[in-house]
């Protein structure tokens, strides 16, 4: 698959998958929307998925073999958490955390 | 479109322009594709976290099955948005398909919280205009960010952390809305197990299967606890 075919296929698949998550309730679930199992999953699954995404991608962002043991990603992570609990401004938290991570990676601060 | 209606979309304008730009910059910084693929994704996919995750999937050359599963799972929360709008969208005619397509986190929160003083058909037309405005903000943000990233030279090493930061923010928001910690620990533990046991390509889907199974088990336990042990 060449690059152009790949990204067109990617966009088509991502578009279909995203639209499916939005249209399925209107197609199939209208009679079941009060089912307690669906309510339970609907209440807790989004939070569980977000937390697992954080863990999977945070583990991949850090350099665990350096003596600082992952501090290159854990410090920006802590900054995002503290800023967001304090100001609750999503954009500020994301920009500050990303800038901190970029500064640490580009300076090689924790790779000694 | 009335000025009052436009004003309701302003918070989304201020959220979507910078977030769309962040996606656009990330797209051109991480990938070697023409800039206009970024706004094209905003037109057809129209999902903030999904598109940002998409950049790392494209960069890794992920297979189409993995792309489908990752996108579906990341956006699975939308399944439950629709459930609460079945009545509000009923009878919206041709507009309904676009209302469903445009059901992002931000659009959902606006459509479910805004005042609806007029007749149902008129409010459905307003819902449609709001969704359209939101998508225009988003696509413009994606395009501006991608053009900036393409034309302004800077060292973008580490910019992919924006994805992690976004997920941290969304996790905190989920926790604040729920007030319960255990789904967070369930997800985190499922991810830790999957990362330990599985190769990188299967970690995401493995963690999702584990986490969902844990929630199903917990549902059974609660049911038994409230209804008493099953008889017979």
Q: For residue A59, what pLDDT is reported?
A: 92
Q: Choose among B63, B101, B64, B106: nearest CA to B82.
A: B101
Task: Give the gap in angstroms from C-alpha B50 to the nearest C-alpha of chain A.
Answer: 8
Question: Across the interface, do A40 and B219 touch by the CB < 8 Å criterion?
Answer: yes
Do residue B100 and residue A18 have CB atoms under 8 angstroms apart? no
Confidence of residue B229 (pLDDT cuts 50, 70, 90): low
B169 with A101: Cβ contact below 8 A = no
The whole-number average pLDDT for the span A96-102 is 93
Task: Note the pLDDT tens digit of each residue in B23-77.
Answer: 999 999 999 999 999 999 999 999 988 999 999 899 989 999 989 988 998 888 7
What 3-state DSSP class applies to A94? helix
Q: State the best of A3, A8, A16, A50 to mutate against chain B, taking most chain B CBs within 10 Å.
A: A50
Q: How many CB atoms lie within 10 A of CB B120?
A: 13
R_g of chain B, CA atoms, integer Å = 20
pLDDT of B110 > 50? The answer is: yes
Residue B84: DSSP 8-state? T
Q: How confident is the model at residue B232 (pLDDT cuts 50, 70, 90)?
A: very low
Instruction: Provide the number of CB pairs (under 8 Å) joining chain A to chain B.
Output: 261
Q: What percent of chain A has pLDDT over 70?
A: 98
Please give the residue that has the higher pLDDT: either B108 or B113. B108
Say what percent of chain B tops pLDDT 90: 46
Residues of B (8-47) whose Cβ lies below 8 Å from A: 15, 18-19, 22, 32-33, 37, 40-41, 44-47
Q: What is the pLDDT of residue A46?
A: 81
Contacts for B52 with CB less than 8 Å, ≥ 6 apart: B22, B23, B26, B162, B163, B166
Cβ distance A55 to B188 less than 8 Å, yes or no, reads yes
Please give the residue of chain A at the shortest CA–CA distance from B17: A91
- Residue-wise pLDDT tens digits, B140-193: 999 999 999 988 877 878 887 887 898 898 899 889 988 999 999 999 999 999
Flag if B54 and A14 touch (Cβ within 8 Å).
Answer: yes
Tell whether B164 is within 8 A of chain A (Cβ). Answer: yes
Model confidence at B2: pLDDT above 70:
yes
pLDDT, mean of residues A81-95: 91
Residue A105's closest CA among B49, B142, B164, B167?
Answer: B164
Among A42-51, A96-105, B216-225, the range scoring the smallest mean pLDDT is A42-51
Q: What value does the mean pLDDT take over residues B119-128?
A: 93
Pair of tokens at residue B112: 């479910």
Question: Domain residues of chain A, as ranges?
Answer: 1-33, 39-112
Residues 95 through 114 of chain B touching chain A, CB cutoff 8 Å: 96, 100-101, 103
Contacts of B205 in chain A (CB under 8 A): none
Other Cβ atoms within 10 Å of B92 Cβ, number: 19
Cβ-contact B137, B11 below 8 angstroms: no
Task: Specify the pLDDT at position A19.
Answer: 97
Does B164 sit within 8 Å of A97, measured CB to CB?
yes
């Amino acid at each position: 698959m060449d690059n152009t075919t790949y990204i067109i296929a990617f966009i088509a698949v991502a578009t279909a998958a995203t639209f499916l998550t939005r249209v399925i309730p209107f197609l199939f679930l209208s009679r079941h929307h009060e089912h307690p199992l669906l309510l339970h999953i609907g209440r807790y699954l989004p939070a569980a998925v977000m937390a697992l995404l954080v863990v999977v991608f945070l583990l991949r962002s850090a350099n665990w073999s350096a003596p600082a043991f992952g501090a290159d990603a854990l410090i920006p992570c802590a900054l995002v958490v503290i800023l967001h609990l304090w100001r609750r401004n999503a954009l500020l938290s994301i920009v500050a955390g990303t800038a901190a991570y970029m500064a640490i990676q580009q300076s090689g601060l924790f790779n000694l | 479109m009335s000025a009052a209606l436009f004003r309701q979309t302003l918070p989304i304008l201020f959220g979507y322009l910078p977030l769309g730009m962040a996606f656009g910059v990330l797209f051109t910084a991480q990938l070697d594709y023409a800039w206009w693929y970024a706004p094209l994704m905003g037109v057809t996919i129209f999902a903030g976290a999904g598109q940002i995750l998409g950049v790392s999937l494209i960069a890794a050359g992920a297979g189409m099955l993995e792309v489908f599963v990752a996108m579906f799972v990341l956006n699975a929360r939308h399944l439950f948005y629709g459930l609460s709008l079945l009545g509000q969208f009923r009878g919206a005619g041709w507009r309904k398909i676009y209302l469903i397509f445009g059901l992002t986190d931000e659009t959902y929160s606006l459509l479910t919280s805004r005042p609806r003083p007029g007749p149902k058909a008129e409010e459905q037309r307003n819902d449609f205009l709001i969704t359209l405005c939101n998508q225009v903000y988003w696509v413009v943000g994606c395009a501006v960010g991608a053009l900036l990233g393409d034309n302004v030279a800077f060292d973008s090493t580490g910019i992919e952390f924006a994805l992690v930061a976004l997920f941290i923010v969304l996790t905190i928001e989920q926790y604040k809305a729920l007030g319960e910690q255990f789904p967070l620990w369930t997800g985190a533990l499922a991810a830790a197990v999957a990362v330990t046991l599985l190769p990188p390509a299967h970690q995401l889907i493995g963690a999702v299967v584990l986490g969902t199974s844990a929630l199903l088990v917990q549902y059974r336990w609660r049911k038994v606890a409230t209804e008493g042990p099953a008889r017979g």
